[in-house]
Structure 1
Amino acid sequence: MGRPMSCRLGWHKWRTRSTEDGGQFQQCTRCDKVNTDSKIPPGAGGF
């Protein structure tokens, strides 16, 4: 089974995740793709 159609069209559902060292990144909840374009400053989580 492949990626959902919405993800293939670029309509990801981003969720902010945390790393073990306290960093943050965005990851799609449907296909697990990591958003490399996101710029999340330290301490900006929870918004």
Structure 2
Amino acid sequence: MFNQKVLRLLLGSTILSTIFSVTMLALTVYHHQKIQQMIKEYSRQ
């Protein structure tokens, strides 16, 4: 019983951290593209 609880806890935290990492990566890429668009707009003027 104890081992199952620990395993489930570890699995849950691993999944949570994976989701968090993927979300942060997606936000970073999105933000980077936004900044590049802004730079292009700025240099066009």
Q: TM-score, normalised by structure 1?
A: 0.17
Higher relative CO (Cα under 8 Å, sequence separation at least 6) belongs to 1
**Greater share of strand:** 1
Greater helix share, structure number? 2
Question: If you compute each CA radius of gyration, which structure gives the higher value, 1 or 2?
Answer: 2
What TM-score does the superposition give when structure 2 sets the normalisation length? Answer: 0.17
